[in-house]
Amino acid sequence: MKRLLIHGVAPVLLCLQVAYLGFFGLLFALSGPGSAEIDHTDPSPVAHALFNGLLLAFVLPAVGGAALLGSEAVRARVPGGARAVWLAVLGVTEIVVAVSFATTALRESPGPDSLVAVVAVAACAVIALVCAGEVRGTLRAARPVPPLA
The larger pLDDT score, comparing residue 42 to residue 62, is at: 62
User: Tell me, what's the pLDDT at 140?
Assistant: 85
Q: Is 145 helix (H, G, I), strand (E, B) or coil?
A: coil
Residue type, 60: L
The pLDDT tens digits for 94-125 are: 999 999 999 998 998 888 888 989 999 999 99
Residue type, 110: P
pTM assigned to the model: 0.80
The pLDDT tens digits for 66-78 are: 999 988 899 889 8
**Radius of gyration, CA atoms only, the chain:** 19
User: Tell me, what's the pLDDT at 145?
Assistant: 65
> Any residues with CB less than 8 A from the CB of 118 and at least 6 apart, and which?
105
Residue 41 pLDDT > 70: no
Distances (CA, A) of 41 to 28, 34, 47: 14, 11, 12
Residue type, 30: L
Residue type, 126: V
For 148, counting Cβ atoms within 10 Å of its Cβ (0-12 exposed, 13-18 middle, 19+ buried), the class is: exposed
The pLDDT confidence band at residue 88, using thresholds 50, 70 and 90, is: very high
Residue 130 pLDDT > 70: yes
User: Tell me, what's the pLDDT at 102?
Assistant: 93
pLDDT, mean of residues 125-149? 83
Closest CA to 83 of 66, 99, 70, 68: 68
Residue 36 pLDDT > 70: no
